[in-house]
Amino acid sequence: MSSGLDVVDLRAGYGAVEALHGVTLSFPLGAVVALLGRNGAGKSSLLRVMAGTVAVSSGRVSWRGRDLARLPPDQRVVAGLTSIPDAPNVFHGLTVAENLAVFGQGIAPDPVFEVFPELRDKASRLAGTLSGGERQMVALGRLLLRPGQALLLDEASRGLSVGAVERLYAVLDDLATPERTIVVVEQYQPDILRRADLVYVLSRGEVAWAGEPGELAAGRLPTAFG
């Protein structure tokens, strides 16, 4: 099967509030997909549903043809999904090194410190005492330790300095292989459009626009996103 992550007619929400009203989208293998939209459009909810932390009310989520709906989040990690949520993204009561060890499972944290040298001196500090940007670096460390075949990044660049964002994108460039799907949620980050193969725009829990980044850049932004 060549399909990557697929969601079909997906409905999900929180208690009585439905956040996604029947979303059908395809995130093919080998693609970097940018998921855009305003606040409350349902971008993060969609990532959470795919990662398994928000339950599906109806519809389908599949990864490489395998139905994910009944799999708990940890099994999805085993199946190849690596999700980096927006917040909380680190264990506040664990040190930086321990945070990396939870996911690393025996892999030395050196690759993380190479890309984010800011963390090297803070390895033994509690993650709760770090700045927002540093916490984000710790969270992104998972991409450097054991990246899965599907990466779900929620506002990955939030809080990072311009230089750190550059390094993050360089890492993503390295990770973008034909066997991997990368989904990046961004609020506003023009850089991601230069790297994305596909752009989906969500609005009020529905797909408002789907196309190629070039079209967005050409000023054909739909009113839904304006």
Partner 1 sequence: MLTLELALAGLGIGSIAALAGLGLLVTYRLTGVFNLAFGAIAMAAAYLLWQAVRVWHWPLALAAVVDVLVICPIFGVLLERFVFRPLQRRAAAPAEKLVASLGVFVVLLGGAVLVWGAQARLDAPSLVPYRQLPLPGGVQLPLSTVVDLAVIIVVGIGLALGQRTRLGLRVRAVVEQRELAELQGLDANRVAALGWAIGSMLAGVAGVLMAPTLRLQPYGLTLVMLETMAVVVVAQLTSPVRAIAAGLMVGVIQAELARVHLGGYSGALFDALTANLFVVALLVALLIVRRLNETGGDDAGTTARLTTRGELASARGWWLVPALTLAAPLMFNAQDRRVALAVPALAIVLVSIVVVSGYSGQISLGQAGFAGLGALIAARLAAGTMPGFGRIPGVAVLVMVPLLMVPIGLLLGWPAIRRRGLFLALTTFAFSVAVSRFVFDQPSVTSGLTVHPPDAFGSDNNFYVLELLCLAAAFLVVRNLHNGRVGRALIAVRDDESGALACGVDVRRLKLLVFAASAALAALGGALLAMGSRAFDTGAFDPTRGLIWFAAVVVFGIDSAPGAVIGAGVLVALDAGLPQGSSILVIGLCALLLGRMPGGLLHSMHRLFDHTVRRIAPGIVPDVRQRPTRAVQLTPAGRAMVGQLRRRAAGGQGVTP
**Residues 145 to 164 in contact with partner 1, rule: CB under 8 A:** none
CB of 43 to partner 1, least distance (A): 15
- Residues 29/182, Cβ–Cβ less than 8 Å: no
Total residues in contact with partner 1, by rule CB under 8 A:
56
Q: Residue 67 burial (CB < 10 Å; 0-12/13-18/19+)?
A: exposed
User: 3-class DSSP state for residue 22?
Assistant: strand
Q: Is 117 in the site for partner 1 (CB under 8 A)?
A: no
Is residue 44 part of the contact set for partner 1 (CB under 8 A)? no
Among 52, 96, 184, 192, binds partner 1 (CB under 8 A): 52
Site string (62-91) toward partner 1, x via CB under 8 A:
----------xxx--xx----x-x--xxxx
- Binning the chain into helix, strand and coil, the percentages to the nearest 5 are 35, 30, 35
* 29 contacts partner 1 (rule: CB under 8 A): yes
User: Looking at 6-14, 38-46, 130-138, 163-171, which segment touches partner 1 (CB under 8 A)?
Assistant: 6-14
Task: Return all residues near 67 (Cβ < 8 A) that are at least 6 apart.
Answer: 60, 61
By CB under 8 A, tell whether 28 contacts partner 1.
yes
Select 87 or 161, whichever has its Cβ closest to partner 1: 87
Which one among 7, 12, 41, 51 touches partner 1, defined by CB under 8 A? 51
Which stretches of the chain are assigned E, i.e. beta strand?
5-14, 17-27, 32-37, 56-63, 66-67, 81-84, 150-154, 181-185, 198-203, 206-211
